[in-house]
Structure 1
């Protein structure tokens, strides 16, 4: 072989080796970019199924042809994240808790479901639910992990047992404040000033009763569950807070220990004030047998003009305030007044009273985390297409509570609605809006300003003098008191709490209705201690010593 031929052969071999090496490098690069392995491809394409249980809602309206089992939201989850949702059962919201108890007792669990703090502990101890520590770490997005740490991780800590994450907090903003709502048209009619003190409140209540000579009107709205449930339109929590009394909280005693608020002297003062109002005819004498809706009829029918409630209370007041597209009742919202010179403190909790748990034998716990990720993403920064998760397939606000079909829902632990919304609405300035919630609320309030009276309620929530506008000052001046106990229910709580609350409500009702002397409160305190209260206090303080 001549020299020229040898050189050509060597060059050909080198070129062949280079091309082969390049081909292998490119294959490796492609493999690192694309999930071409069978396992990765299968995970990408497979739809996983998770089951749950659902409370129905009377205000939820479906798009035509849809049901709780077959709807646009469920379709969107399957299409967008590959998770198919199956309802094991659906029941009326009023029966949901009882049916869930039966489901747990029979150990016929769906893959995931919501529980309260006591059930979370019981299910953990019974080894019926899954430790979510690893699955959460693996599948939760960075956004989800950041979302749950905005309060420093307090809500997450409440779901931990022995360092294990046994549930997902059904998170919300802990600043769930109470406000005082008053018929301002009646204030003008009677030439009365806005309420600033509890004495003002009583004076206004007396005047409101006297303005109706029929004898069928009362001063303050109260219903049969005013302490633990009806904090929306007929509750007494805000009233109690005005007397520096707090409903079933653990507060510091000044000596580094925690005591229960239900048995403090301030509670006796608040009950005495309510008893006096009852004797004067300022409270419906039949309140003890009326639920929220029944008592609310008095509000709608111009028989009550004072209500303690949450920021969303106008959404219920609107039933009486707007008729035939006309505002027929004018309401104003005010900070809760104090009985003395010290500011009234709003009682607030942790912001997580319920948890989503996953059954021990669930095949796809990652499906629940994916649902969580998707909810947080679309609730905070949805694309136009993702509005299906809130409004349905037409992507338009219809006021139909359609978003309740989302099986996993958590709320932000913080918001600045009270700073942004009143200013944006007053100036009609959309440019300062930051979140989806703010844009939705702004649009509703502007609808009201443009003549749509059905949106009156949103303006009273978010407008320049709405409930939200009060919140920044409450937070800035720290006019709130947070429950100091956020651990799992103690052993004696699990065993005795329900009995103690039932006894409390029985005595408090009798005192308010003037059936027994206010001094019976002191006997209740002693009985509360003997029935398990002292032991609960001991257990709570043992927990507090490790969590200060």
Structure 2
């Protein structure tokens, strides 16, 4: 079965009107004397993370924003653009003539593009004066991600965990078909064949997949790792860094996935599978083996168990490839970038705002208010789930300057339900990471070329796996990648490697 390539659909977004920065005047009266206090107002444009607000609350009126404002003396005006086309929307805002005081993006390419345009405020002096918690909580090597020519152009938010994917399978299906949990790629393929062809759910229909993945080859990391490569990473070869997407190992991995597709073991609808679609297939019993996010035991896998009480899911060892390789991608240390446009005059207030989130405000923004959302019972965190869900929007603010406190992470994950094994999953993922050797700020050439190169890679790899292009197109992709800016990026990455490799643990 052949599928047409999925068309990307982008929302046509209107321009958000953003007023200039202002300082409202609060007056306190003592007898006949009027004392005027200037309170800074910052306008911020941030990611909603798909969160919603309880009735009677909105992004600018809720207890968590009040908590931040009361502790920083900064008034915050929040804009949440639509998630679809978010970075394109930020581009519109940046060119509006009066951009806000803070924009947040997860895109390293977007960040570097505006560094190249000299459109961002260097923050070194402000962080030195007003960023005590930021300096204490953000490691030195992470600051390198946002430092160009000695200037800090963004305040980073950190990824709480270092990786994402972990393979889960239906043990009840394995048992029914007389199969053991797979370990090697060959054993995995045998399980996929059984799940696709031997009616593991017993309904007499051919309606189950051997493996399901996502659009853009999402959720394939363990299978790529079996061949020694991951998407969008840099590995050392003969003393130099090379891009993973052009390695022979990647071609081998694509060939394996293509074989699964040709054998009807791979979900033929994968180019259309967004996360909610894949999650529905897991929950409805059409998928019995897939690369889950470590948190899926509390979402899609939990939904599967709720619909079918016999569904028993277990984590698997990562597949081992023909050369003994295995592992999954490591996430960047940086979750997102907070930048201050050069036109803003409120960098001081922005840094104070983010410094509180990273420091004193971290625990309440991560866990919710104590005694309201959670309490501690016998030394363990006890979460009031109705309040936890109601207050989930707090993550919009906390994610702006997330820091890593392992005890808070463990408390939170175990408090969400020990039956979900969330903290165990995180540890399993983190013990099987394939390290990306490039750990610096996005290079200037990345700012110029990364978006088009990423699109080229996504489209080419999808077409190869779906049988719409021959495997040999990979070789043409490598040439096009190099000629379209990849060689320029590689040169800059290796300049960084030459200057920094002495400090990198190998």
TM-score by length of 1: 0.75
Q: Across the two proteins, how many residue pairs are aligned to each other?
A: 451
Describe the SS at the equivalent of 1:398.
Answer: helix
Q: Is 1:357 aligned to residue 318 of structure 2?
A: no
Asked if 2 retains the 8 angstrom alpha-carbon contact of 1:172 and 1:412, the reply is yes
Identify the residue that residue 315 of structure 1 maps to in structure 2.
Answer: 298
Counterparts of 1:239-258 in structure 2 under 5 Å? 239-253=223-237, 255-258=238-241
Matches of 2:191 and 2:118 in 1, distance apart?
Answer: 55
Determine if the alignment matches structure 1 residue 49 to structure 2 residue 41.
Answer: yes
Q: CA distance change for structure 1 residues 382 and 527 in 2, over 3 Å: closer, same or farther?
A: closer
Instruction: Report 1:191-202 matches (<5 A).
Output: 191-202=178-189
CA RMSD of aligned residues (A): 2.9
The answer as to whether partners of 1:140 and 1:369 remain within 8 angstroms in 2 is yes
2:195 is the counterpart of 1:208: yes
C-alpha distance in 2 between matches for 1:308 and 1:98: 30
Structure ID, larger Rg? 1
Shift of 1:281: 0.9
Work out which of the residue numbers 442, 448, 467 in structure 1 matches 2:425: 467
Structure 1 equivalent of residue 56 of structure 2: 65
Q: In structure 2, what is the equivalent of residue 237 of structure 1?
A: 221
> Residue 223 and residue 389 in structure 1: after superposition, are their counterparts in 2 closer, same or farther (change >3 A)?
farther
1:136 aligns with: 127
Q: State the 1:382 CA deviation.
A: 4.9
Higher relative contact order, chain-length normalized (CA < 8 Å, sep 6+): 2
Q: For 1:252-276, what per-residue CA distance to the aligned partner results, in whole angstroms no more than 9, with x for missing partners? A: 11x2111111111111111111111
Pick closer, same or farther for the CA change 1:336–1:177 going to 2, 3 Å. Answer: farther
1:494 corresponds in structure 2 to 447
8 Å contact kept, 1:335–1:470: no
Q: Residue by residue, what CA displacement relative to the aligned partner does 1:59-89 show, whole Å, maximum 9, x if unpaired?
A: x3433311122111111122222121102x3
Alignment partner, residue 319 of structure 2? 337
Counterparts of 1:408 and 1:339, CA distance in 2: 37
In the superposition, relative to structure 1, how do residues 290 and 389 fare at CA in structure 2: closer, same or farther (>3 Å)? farther
- Which deviations, in whole Å up to 9, do the C-alpha atoms of 1:23-71 show, x marking residues without a partner? xxxxxxxxxxxxxxxxxxx99x75321111133344x343331112211
Q: Distance in 1 between matches of 2:467 and 2:399?
A: 45
Q: Judging changes above 3 Å, is the alpha-carbon distance between structure 1 residues 408 and 186 closer, same or farther for their aligned structure 2 residues?
A: closer
Query: Structure 2: how far apart are the matches of 1:350 and 1:383?
Result: 22
Whether 1:412 and 2:403 are equivalent positions in the alignment is yes
Give the whole-Å Cα distance in 2 for the aligned partners of 1:383 and 1:528: 42
Shift of 1:390: 9.4
Are residues 126 and 398 of structure 1, via their aligned partners in 2, closer, same or farther at CA, if it must alter by over 3 Å?
A: same
1:267-278 equivalences under 5 Å are 267-278=250-261
Q: Tell me whether 1:533 sits opposite 2:486 in the alignment.
A: yes
Listed as ranges, the gaps of 5+ residues in structure 1 are: 1-41, 416-434, 447-455
2:102 counterpart (88, 112, 116): 112
Match of 1:506 in 2: 459
Distance 1:320 1:544 in 2: 45
Distance 1:385 1:352, change over 3 A: closer
Give secondary structure in 1 for the equivalent of 2:490: helix
Shift in CA distance, 412/192, structure 1 to aligned 2, threshold 3 Å: farther
SS of equivalent residue, structure 2 residue 213? coil
Cα distance between partner residues in 2 of 1:95 and 1:383? 27
Query: Over residues 334-375 of structure 1, what are the superposed CA-to-partner deviations in whole Å (9 max), with x where a residue is unaligned?
Result: 342211352413332431153101122333322222222322
Change (3 A) 1:68 1:155: same
Query: More deviation in 306-315 or 163-172?
Result: 306-315
